[in-house]
Amino acid sequence: MTRLHLVRHGPTHAKTMVGWSDLPADLSDTAALKRLHDYLPQDAVVVSSDLSRAVDTASAIQGARTRLPHHRDLREINFGTWELRGFKEVEAEDAELAFAYWDNPGDVRPPDGESWNQVRARVDRAVDALIADHHGRDIVIVAHFGVILTQVQRALDLDGQQTFAHRIDNLSVTHVTCEGTGWSAGAINHRP
């Protein structure tokens, strides 16, 4: 059995869609970071996406845990031309596409961006490789809202709309377990 502890990076305070842009995390809440550090298994390995908001959050909670190289495939959704734009601005430009993307996640994608199914396939491959390399271990993955939701969807066998109904706060932990070919989810969006 391999246990994934999916941690969302510290807040960026951006009020826009932030995908592959490398915005820094606000890690000033040292008490929350300490609680997170103390809550996670001490013998876990730690990996993050290669974006600084995840890298720096992972460094802040790593402690004596073994750190794995940053993983590009654990990046947030690629929002393409929607990147760093507000939801209302995107909706004003193409309300039908924006509605379809968020209300019926699947093959719909923003211009020059990724569909939900593409994000899910990319993250599943990365997580599967981590599980193969660290089978039976606790793995702390510091990543992003979309990345965490891909594994919630996988563990609970949800459709896209049900998946997006879950809240994933900054500095929260979501627990997913893989045992053989079976997946399950424990606490989602837990704040230690």
Q: What percent of the chain has pLDDT over 70?
A: 100
What pLDDT is attached to residue 61? 98
Q: Which two tokens stand for residue 69?
A: 């190289």
For the segment 24-46, the average pLDDT, to the nearest whole number, is 98
Q: Which two tokens stand for residue 123?
A: 């993250």
For the segment 79-89, the average pLDDT, to the nearest whole number, is 95
pTM of the entire predicted model: 0.96
Q: Which of 35-39, 69-73, 125-129, 157-161 is least confident? A: 157-161
| Residue found by looking up tokens 């929002």 in the block | 79
What pLDDT is attached to residue 113? 97
Q: How many helices (H) does the chain have, and how many strands (E)?
A: 7, 6
Closest CA to 170 of 1, 69, 23, 70: 23
List, for residues 64-83, the tens digit of each pLDDT value.
Answer: 999 999 999 999 999 999 99
**Domains along the sequence of the chain with CATH:** 2-78+117-185 (3.40.50.1240)
pLDDT at 181 over 90: no
- In this structure, what are the phi and psi dihedrals at residue 124, rounded to the nearest 5 degrees? -55, -45
What pLDDT is attached to residue 180? 82
